[in-house]
């Protein structure tokens, strides 16, 4: 787990690493097969897992599904925000051009 800027949420959120995200994904898929009166109940195992890991009280299961470190690029050398994708060539936050292989 690592706190990173999220382009969609427009705030710094706890992002999951690959192993953590694999588990979250399983719990997310289970949520669809579970009967519950509402989203919060059906995805409770996922939300509990995320909160236990991060201390962040997330209530939207879908948000967790884009909070994976590997879905983003490395942090920008200038402003520290992660590139929007692993292959992005510049940073939209500060306009910094990414040097190759960094």
The residues binding Zn ion (CB under 5 A) are: 6, 8-9, 76, 78-79, 91, 93-94, 96
* Residue placing its CB nearer to Zn ion in the complex, 6 or 27: 6
- Give CA–CA dist 28/75, Å, rounded: 27
Strand pairing partners for 12?
Answer: 5
Q: How far is the CB of 23 from Zn ion (least distance, A)?
A: 18
Q: How far is the CB of 8 from Zn ion (least distance, A)?
A: 4
CA distances from 1 to 6, 41, 92 (A): 14, 24, 24
How far is residue 86 CA from its own chain's centroid? 14
* Residue placing its CB nearer to Zn ion in the complex, 6 or 69: 6
* Residue placing its CB nearer to Zn ion in the complex, 3 or 36: 3
């Amino acid at each position: 787990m690592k706190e990173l800027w999220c382009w969609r949420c427009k705030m710094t959120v706890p992002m999951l690493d690959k192993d953590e995200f694999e588990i979250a994904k399983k719990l997310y898929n289970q949520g669809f097969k579970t009967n519950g009166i509402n989203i919060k109940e059906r995805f409770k195992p996922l939300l509990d897992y995320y909160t236990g890991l991060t201390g962040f009280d997330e209530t939207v299961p879908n948000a967790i599904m884009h909070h994976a470190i590997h879905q983003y690029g490395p942090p920008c050398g200038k402003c520290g925000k992660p590139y929007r994708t692993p292959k992005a060539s510049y940073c939209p936050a500060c306009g910094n051009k990414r040097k190759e292989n960094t």
